[in-house]
Amino acid sequence: MRAVVLGTAAGGGVPQWNCACGPCAAVRDGRLPARTQDSVAVSGDGARWWLVNASPDLGAQLAATPALAPGPGPRQTPVRGVLFTDAELDHTLGLAVLRGAPGLEVHAPATVLHALAPTRAVLAAYGEWSWRQVEPGRPVVLAGGLEVTAFPVSGKRPRYAADSPVAGHWVVAYRFRDPATGGVLLYAPCLASWPAGFDALVAEADVVLLDGTFAAPSEMGSVTGGPSGQAAMGHLPIAHSLPELRRHPSTRRIYTHLNNTNPVLDPASPERAKIAEAGVEVVGDGTVIEL
């Protein structure tokens, strides 16, 4: 299995267009690297690739990733489809970028498929896609050989779907397993809490890409100087997840989905030093992981 970390930032990226916080200013000044919004691409054979989430930065991410370049035909693409962890705008708006590729498969929980109904109607005018409902705990074999299983981790709804009549799990983590090598990748960019049974998933994985949106529970309020609504955003801060990750030293652990206010963006920060001491990583956009 091969995975490319296409983007590592939370909604808005780093720098965020309307923010002059420390990390955003540091990126604009050239002191820190820019980060696009969170997504990964995975493949079992190096030829057929699956995107996990489709951020508004998807076009630039595809262009920056040689493995996802089109060809050999003039309109051929190695991208076979998309899997959604949730229905948040920063994970779904990029779907329209793929409208020119017929025959793609989109996998998502029932709640997410319902929330995306308007988007699906728009995209139907451009080509026929397959929309597949993800059943929690039920493995699915993707083109290229990878086996993927979804695990519910949160009921956090996106703001635009707050009044949706559809009940169920709104956020899932995906476990990718390569039957050829036995390698396991766990992708969980949105965790509202440390759910029951999650320790077992981390323990069996070779690599975990985990929600690192905020370093501390009060981070956004401290940066903006006012009420932030951070607690309602559905992201477990690193201060709470790092003690859990310390129990799994044999798993490669990587924080992703980093908010523009997060001090761990700076390699010289005390917060970054603390997670490094625990053996947990922060990687840049474009990082390639082989399992």
Structural tokens at position 244: 């859990």
Query: In what side-by-side order are the strands of the sheet with 79-83?
Result: 130-133, 105-108, 79-83, 49-52, 39-43, 2-7, 288-290
Domain that includes residue 31, residue range:
2-290
Q: How many residues does the chain have?
A: 291
Q: What percent of the chain has pLDDT over 70?
A: 97
Number of helical (H) and strand (E) elements in the chain, helices listed first:
9, 14
Contact 78, 95 (CB under 8 A): no
CA distance 208 to 282: 12
**pLDDT given for residue 232 in this prediction:** 72
What helix, strand, coil percent values describe the chain, rounded to 5?
Answer: 25, 25, 50
Average pLDDT of the chain, as a whole number:
95
Look at the chain and report how many structural domains it folds into: 1
b/e code 16-43 from CB counts within 10 Å (16+ = b): beebebbbbebbeeeebeebbbbbbbbb
Q: Is a pLDDT exceeding 60 seen at residue 73?
A: yes
CA distance 62 to 7: 11
Over residues 217-242, the mean pLDDT reads 78
Confidence class for position 225, pLDDT limits 50, 70, 90: low
Report the CATH number at residue 187.
Answer: 3.60.15.10
Distances (CA, A) of 106 to 66, 83, 262: 22, 6, 31
According to DSSP, residue 58 is labeled H
Instruction: Give residue-wise pLDDT tens across range 127-161.
Output: 999 999 999 999 999 999 999 999 999 999 999 99
Backbone angles phi, psi at 23, to 5 degrees: -60, -40
Q: Is a pLDDT exceeding 80 seen at residue 49?
A: yes
CA distance 223 to 183: 40
Confidence class for position 110, pLDDT limits 50, 70, 90: very high
**pLDDT given for residue 118 in this prediction:** 96
**pLDDT given for residue 229 in this prediction:** 65
> What's this model's pTM, rounded to 2 decimal places?
0.96
**pLDDT given for residue 221 in this prediction:** 64
